[in-house]
Structure 1
Amino acid sequence: MNCTNLIDELRQRNLIFHITHENKLKKNIERNLISVYCGFDPTEESLHVGHLLPLITLKRFQKRGHTPVILIGGATSLIGDPSFKEKERLLNFDHKIDMWVLKIIKQVSYFLDININSNSAIILNNKKWFEKINILSFLRDIGKHFSINTMINREAVKQRINRLDRGISFTEFSYSLLQAYDFFMLNKKKQVSLQIGGSDQWGNISAGMHLINRISKKEVYGLTLPLLMQSNGIKFGKTECGTIWLDPKKTTPYKFYQFWKNIDDSNVYNFLKLFTFLDCNEINKRELNKYKNQQIMKDKSYLAKYMTRLVHGEENLLAAERITQILFLENAKNIKKSDLQQLKQDGIHCIEVDQIRDLQEALVLCSLSTSRTQAKNMIISNSISINTNKITNKNHIFHDKDKLFNQFTLISRGKKNHCLIFWK
């Protein structure tokens, strides 16, 4: 059993950005089992990798015996959190939100134990209490506890107010009161005493603590996690090609796997601390030896395997590794049709054709060469492969044997440039 106080462990793992009453919280979780919550607004049909940090942190609490509470914002997502957003979100309709709620519930259920006796995860929807609330009662009983001066001076709000071109609507301005009420209701109904979230949620979390203290005279706690940025300044979870989703229909397990394989070297050991349950001492030892025997590459692979297995399961991890072998180790022996369908979705460049005259034309259509003359020279120089088999015939014509599962042909130029032909 891990004897380190959980808050100390979170500090060791660089997981704490803000925290209130740290010593009191440490003593509280040493003496008592608490309920801790994090909210997720279903403003899309899937969570993305940026949501993994709070989910895994909730799992750390659950492994220590505490009860994780997931609050799905079926009501608050109709508005959208304005925190550090440059402009107002597009508002979604109830029926769409209801569908997304079901998908998000299914996703979060995968990360936490929901069928254990003592501290099963609890999943709630704030639509349950907001549907019944009266606007006059809310303004009188909740709104009176908040100062407009304080709300305006929150950094997330100030950034929008100071932008004359966009500003902030009253709808968005009221969001922090709604989230504060969530914390109040969870404290009242489920004795939740700690809320966690990204560092951009600090103002909303503080509002909840303030409301509980004013109405219930109780002390509760807040803890925020760092918002992660990649070395290129892009928010973690987003790439040049878009967001890295948890839904395999939006981001394939192969692309998810490659996302982790290709993180910057400077992030490897911090990410091992943040996202895995490897002991911190073990991670520190690995970091000390990162330039010996390609240790850092091994640790990147470990991270990619761990995260892909966590999110997509063992079978999809094996598929991601198979596809990687095909593309980078040139071994298509064990390829499956589902692997090629992943590549077609978002793995590599793909073209759809009815027919192609020959390999030279295919190389031009696939943007692997700029002309038939260049394509011919590439083939002669032994740099072109079909389904990982080298082709040296400059006049190669496609045959049925070149079509995997009668639908796919993988053309490669060297080891890093690929195109998938999908025969219609």
Structure 2
Amino acid sequence: MCSRSLQFINSLQPLTFFSHRRSISSYGLLLLPLVSFFSRANDILIGMMLAEEIKARGLVEHTSAPLEKIFSAQRTAYLGIDPTSDSMQVGNLAVMLLMKRLSTAGHKLVFLVGGGTGMIGDPKETGERMMLDEKIVATNTLALKAQLKKILGTTPFKMVDNADWLSKTKLLPFLRDVGKHFTVNDLIKREIIKKRLDTPGESISYTEFTYALLQGFDYLTLHEKYGVDLQVGGSDQWTNMLSGVDLIRKRLGEQVYALCMPLVEDSAGKKFGKSEGNAIWLDPKKTSPFHFYQFWINLPDTRVGTYLKAYTFLPIAEIDALMELHRRNPGERQAQETLARLVTEIVHGPAVTAQVAAATDALFGDTSFHRLSCEALAVALAEAPSVEISRRGLAEGYSLAEALVAGGLAFSKSDARRLISGKGIMLSGQTIGNPDQKVYLGDLSNGYALVRKGKQGVLVLVLK
């Protein structure tokens, strides 16, 4: 019986409308059919609400059954994590947050780190993936586990590694019990495999060819050991996900489910990933919290609404209201700022988010450097280009044009003079038009002065 049913039974204990003394457990037993009915109705209602929520947020592309049926009972959902890197990126984050939504609705979570399948890698469109060293996969797996725990926080979940069973699986039983349920006819029809085979000079190894079997076997193993009955993933894994659904049906005669969400794409329409060269990493050593925040706050208007639904837990009504405010005054970029703050808090925590938000406002907004906390100032100085100027140099007057060249905002001194003459440069909030402008000690506040070129070009002048 599910926990929601047990909670309902427990609520019966205070009842006092019975006229004679009888153990409350006896009445509980008599009412079990009624409890079961209401519990089932409650599960169905919760499932319908979750299905509508996920649809409204645009988080579903394919399902193996109607969402309302999938969520009509408590599920144990699993998500596979690729250990070919020691960090996840924002594309992974979207589906991780989908899993968190499932947990909030009462479903159980299992995360599968592919320590075994990571040794092989799923087929890609061109060329074969490099075979990773076993030690690298093991190191990456440990890093991913720690990252997952940090991001999910108090959300309960189980974590397993498919190396635990794949490394012990014997070839002959695997071919007999799993391989016979897959046909070569179906496998070669899969889009990526078909592209590889149809491309002159390309081929596919037997190792890559068996990846679908291994992923299907993972689902079967998780179903038998942990009761997993729902796989969640990105749309690029859809055919592999169906492999597990079909294998369990053929082997055990049981129905399990699969749900895939659309791939999150960048402004150019490409999916995020290391192979695409556009990965925004969750690890602060790979993508600093400042640059992570900049990614979200600089999103184009065409993407921000979609990302608010996928990456935040704001109610849909609040997102709609926020987007309406944004449409009325897009220049304030309130939607982007809200998105950047909420997602950075999920990944890096509120304290770090406050620092990078303050540093961002100082570099690109209206906040003065002298108003920054020490931590926020350190972030700004670490992320923005800077030029150190001695007290003597400032006393004599330091050429602003030379500072622009030294700080990388101009290619040459003549280019710098042209920018200044065209009033494309601001010093401490003031537009400069004199190409011979010099910087003096009085132009700095607490030892710093900010130079801006357009909306995104910044340079910090620092008293040496």
Normalised TM-score (structure 1): 0.84
Q: 1:420 to 1:66 in 2, by over 3 A?
A: same
Output the amino acid matched with 1:175: Y
| 1:155-195 C-alpha deviation (Å, 9 max, x unpaired) | 12112221223332221111111111110110000000000
| 1:226-264 C-alpha deviation (Å, 9 max, x unpaired) | 012234223246899842100111111111111111222
CA distance in 1, matches of 2:316, 2:207: 44
Aligned to 1:208: 244
Output the amino acid matched with 1:34: R
* Contact 1:18–1:225 (8 Å) recurs in 2: yes
CA distance in 2, matches of 1:384, 1:266: 29
Which secondary structure state, in structure 2, belongs to the residue aligned with residue 186 of structure 1?
helix
CA distance in 1, matches of 2:428, 2:275: 28
Kindly report which structure 2 residues correspond to 1:137-286, keeping only aligned pairs within 5 A, or say none: 137-236=173-272, 242-286=278-322
- Which stretch of structure 1 is more off in the superposition, 229-238 or 151-160? 229-238
Aligned to 2:110: 69
From 86, 101, 107, the equivalent of 1:45 is: 86
Which structure dedicates a bigger proportion of its chain to helix? 2
* Contact 2:88–2:144 (8 Å) recurs in 1: yes
* Contact 1:322–1:334 (8 Å) recurs in 2: no
How far the C-alpha of 1:281 sits from its partner, in A, is 3.3
How far the C-alpha of 1:344 sits from its partner, in A, is 7.0
| 1:332 and 2:332 are equivalent in the alignment | no
How far the C-alpha of 1:353 sits from its partner, in A, is 8.7
CA RMSD of aligned residues (A): 3.5
Aligned to 1:125: 161
CA distance in 2, matches of 1:182, 1:303: 35
Sequence identity (%): 34
Aligned to 1:360: 401
| 1:92 and 2:136 are equivalent in the alignment | no
How far the C-alpha of 1:153 sits from its partner, in A, is 0.6
Which secondary structure state, in structure 1, belongs to the residue aligned with residue 452 of structure 2?
strand
Aligned to 1:369: 410
CA distance in 2, matches of 1:423, 1:99: 43
Q: 1:385 to 1:299 in 2, by over 3 A?
A: closer
CA distance in 2, matches of 1:300, 1:238: 24
CA distance in 1, matches of 2:165, 2:380: 44
CA distance in 1, matches of 2:308, 2:113: 28
How far the C-alpha of 1:414 sits from its partner, in A, is 5.0
Aligned to 2:62: 18
Q: 1:386 to 1:156 in 2, by over 3 A?
A: same
CA distance in 1, matches of 2:69, 2:421: 72
Q: Which has the higher contact order (CA 8 A, sep 6+)?
A: 1
* Contact 1:360–1:376 (8 Å) recurs in 2: yes
Aligned to 2:338: 302
How far the C-alpha of 1:98 sits from its partner, in A, is 1.2
| 1:5-29 C-alpha deviation (Å, 9 max, x unpaired) | 312221121111110121xx62453
CA distance in 2, matches of 1:247, 1:404: 33
How far the C-alpha of 1:294 sits from its partner, in A, is 4.2
Name stretches of at least 5 consecutive residues in structure 1 with no aligned partner. Answer: none
CA distance in 2, matches of 1:98, 1:398: 56
CA distance in 2, matches of 1:397, 1:263: 34
CA distance in 1, matches of 2:213, 2:227: 19
* Contact 2:386–2:459 (8 Å) recurs in 1: yes
CA distance in 2, matches of 1:28, 1:239: 33
* Contact 1:40–1:71 (8 Å) recurs in 2: yes
CA distance in 2, matches of 1:98, 1:34: 29
From 29, 39, 50, the equivalent of 2:71 is: 29
CA distance in 2, matches of 1:386, 1:240: 38
How far the C-alpha of 1:410 sits from its partner, in A, is 5.7
Q: 1:147 to 1:306 in 2, by over 3 A?
A: same
Larger Rg: 2
CA distance in 2, matches of 1:403, 1:285: 40
Output the amino acid matched with 1:292: R
| 1:296-343 C-alpha deviation (Å, 9 max, x unpaired) | 822221111111111111111111211211211252124466556656
Aligned to 1:101: 141
How far the C-alpha of 1:125 sits from its partner, in A, is 0.9
Q: 1:309 to 1:114 in 2, by over 3 A?
A: closer
CA distance in 1, matches of 2:254, 2:319: 39
Output the amino acid matched with 1:71: L
- Which stretch of structure 1 is more off in the superposition, 360-369 or 44-53? 360-369
Q: 1:7 to 1:204 in 2, by over 3 A?
A: same
Which secondary structure state, in structure 2, belongs to the residue aligned with residue 5 of structure 1?
helix
Output the amino acid matched with 1:226: P
Q: 1:112 to 1:278 in 2, by over 3 A?
A: same
- Which stretch of structure 1 is more off in the superposition, 125-134 or 410-419? 410-419
CA distance in 1, matches of 2:423, 2:275: 33
Q: 1:150 to 1:376 in 2, by over 3 A?
A: closer
Q: 1:146 to 1:341 in 2, by over 3 A?
A: farther
CA distance in 2, matches of 1:285, 1:194: 33
Q: 1:288 to 1:376 in 2, by over 3 A?
A: closer
* Contact 1:45–1:104 (8 Å) recurs in 2: yes
Output the amino acid matched with 1:206: L
Aligned residues: 412
* Contact 1:325–1:332 (8 Å) recurs in 2: no
Aligned to 2:51: 7
